[in-house]
C-alpha cells in the first residue's frame, strides 16, 4: 500500500462533513465561473430599459437591475472576476512569501535580518488603506487590484514559511541530504519546502476568502473594478440605491459573497484540522 502524506491528509479531510461540503461548494463556484459564458442566460451587459427592476421570477430568475440587466447573469460573470482576483492575488503573494520566507529561514544571518525587518515594516501598514492609496494612484482595474493585494499581503506567508524552514533546517534528514552532497537549491526545494507546504495551503485558503472580500470592499467603495465590469462588490455597490425597493439586488451578491467566503474558510479550517493533530503520530 502506497500512502503519501497527501493521501493521509485527504483521508482525514474526508471525515469532516462540513469541510467536504464546503469543498464541493468551492468547486461548484469555480466551475460556474469557468463556464460563465455557457451558463449565464444573458450576456452580462445586455440591457433592456423596458424591463428594469423586475423582481425574481419568470425569464429573470433573480430579477433585473436599474438598467434592465439580468442579475443572475451578472452574478455568474461576477464570480469570474471575484474568484480570479482571489486566486491570482493569493498566488502572487504566496509566491513572494514562499521565496522570501525560504531565503530568510534557510540562510539566516543578514538576509534573515533584512527580510524579517521588511516583514515587520510591511505589517505596520494598515494594508487596506495602503491598497486604497495605491489604487488611487494607479487607477482601478482588476489587474491592478490583483497586483496590489499580491504585493501587500505576503508577510503572513513569509513568516509562516520562515518558521517552518527553521523548524526543519536542523533535522537529521536535511543533514543527511547535505552529507550526500545536496546543494542549497535541492535542500530548499526538495527537502524543506515540501514539508512546509501544508500550513501554507491552509493559509492560502483563508487568503482567497480574504482577497475576495477585499476586492468586494474596494469595488463597493468605487476603488475596485470599473462599474461596467460585473464583480460581486460592484453589483452590490450599484444596488445600494435601491435597497428599500429592490431587495433582490443586494441580497443576491451579498449571499454570493457570504457563501463563498464561508466555504473557503471552512475548507481552510478542515485542512488545518486534517494536517495537524491526528497525523503527528504517524509522521
Among 49, 124, 172, 228, binds another protein (CB under 8 A): 172
Among 138, 175, 241, 255, binds another protein (CB under 8 A): 175
- Asked if 154 and 104 count as a contact pair (C-beta separation under 8 A), the reply is no
Asked whether position 180 contacts another protein by CB under 8 A, the answer is yes
Beta carbon of residue 106, minimum distance to another protein (angstroms, whole number): 15
Asked whether position 280 contacts another protein by CB under 8 A, the answer is no
Scan for cell 479550517, then name that residue.
Answer: 269
Asked whether position 185 contacts another protein by CB under 8 A, the answer is no
Asked whether position 282 contacts another protein by CB under 8 A, the answer is yes
Asked whether position 2 contacts another protein by CB under 8 A, the answer is yes
Asked whether position 186 contacts another protein by CB under 8 A, the answer is yes
Q: What is the DSSP letter of 241?
A: G
Helices (H), 180-227: 184-186, 193-220
Nearest of 1, 10, 3, 2 to residue 278 by alpha carbon: 10
Residues 6+ apart with CB under 8 A from 95: none
Q: How far apart are the first and last CA of the chain?
A: 16
- Asked if 264 and 208 count as a contact pair (C-beta separation under 8 A), the reply is yes
Beta carbon of residue 194, minimum distance to another protein (angstroms, whole number): 4
- Region 77-96 residues binding another protein, contact defined as CB under 8 A: none
Site residues for another protein per CB under 8 A: 1-5, 171-173, 175-182, 186, 190-191, 194-195, 282-283
Amino acid at each position: 500500500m502506497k500512502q503519501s502524506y497527501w493521501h493521509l491528509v485527504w483521508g482525514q479531510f474526508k471525515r469532516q462533513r462540513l469541510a467536504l461540503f464546503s469543498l464541493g461548494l468551492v468547486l461548484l463556484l469555480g466551475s460556474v465561473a469557468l463556464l460563465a459564458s455557457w451558463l449565464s442566460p444573458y450576456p452580462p451587459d445586455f440591457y433592456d430599459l423596458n424591463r428594469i427592476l423586475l423582481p425574481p421570477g419568470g425569464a429573470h430568475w433573480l430579477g433585473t437591475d436599474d438598467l434592465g440587466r439580468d442579475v443572475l447573469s451578472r452574478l455568474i460573470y461576477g464570480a469570474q472576476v471575484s474568484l480570479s482576483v482571489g486566486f491570482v492575488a493569493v498566488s502572487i503573494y504566496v509566491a513572494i512569501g514562499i521565496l522570501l520566507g525560504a531565503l530568510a529561514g534557510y540562510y539566516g544571518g543578514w538576509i534573515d535580518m533584512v527580510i524579517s525587518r521588511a516583514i515587520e515594516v510591511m505589517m505596520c501598514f494598515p494594508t487596506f488603506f495602503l491598497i486604497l492609496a495605491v489604487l488611487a494612484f494607479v487607477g482601478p482595474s482588476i489587474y491592478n487590484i490583483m497586483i496590489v493585494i499580491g504585493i501587500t499581503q505576503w508577510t503572513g506567508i513569509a513568516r509562516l514559511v520562515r518558521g517552518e524552514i527553521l523548524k526543519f533546517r536542523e533535522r537529521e534528514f536535511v543533514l543527511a541530504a547535505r552529507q550526500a552532497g545536496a546543494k542549497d537549491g535541492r535542500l530548499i526545494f526538495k527537502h524543506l519546502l515540501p514539508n512546509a507546504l501544508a500550513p501554507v495551503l491552509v493559509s492560502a485558503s483563508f487568503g482567497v476568502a480574504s482577497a475576495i472580500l477585499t476586492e468586494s470592499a474596494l469595488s463597493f467603495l468605487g476603488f475596485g473594478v470599473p462599474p461596467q465590469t460585473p464583480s460581486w462588490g460592484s453589483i452590490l455597490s450599484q444596488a445600494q440605491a435601491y435597497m428599500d425597493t429592490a431587495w433582490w439586488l443586494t441580497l443576491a451578491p451579498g449571499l454570493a459573497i457570504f457563501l463563498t467566503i464561508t466555504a473557503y474558510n471552512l475548507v481552510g479550517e478542515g485542512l488545518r484540522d486534517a494536517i495537524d493533530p491526528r497525523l503527528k503520530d504517524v509522521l
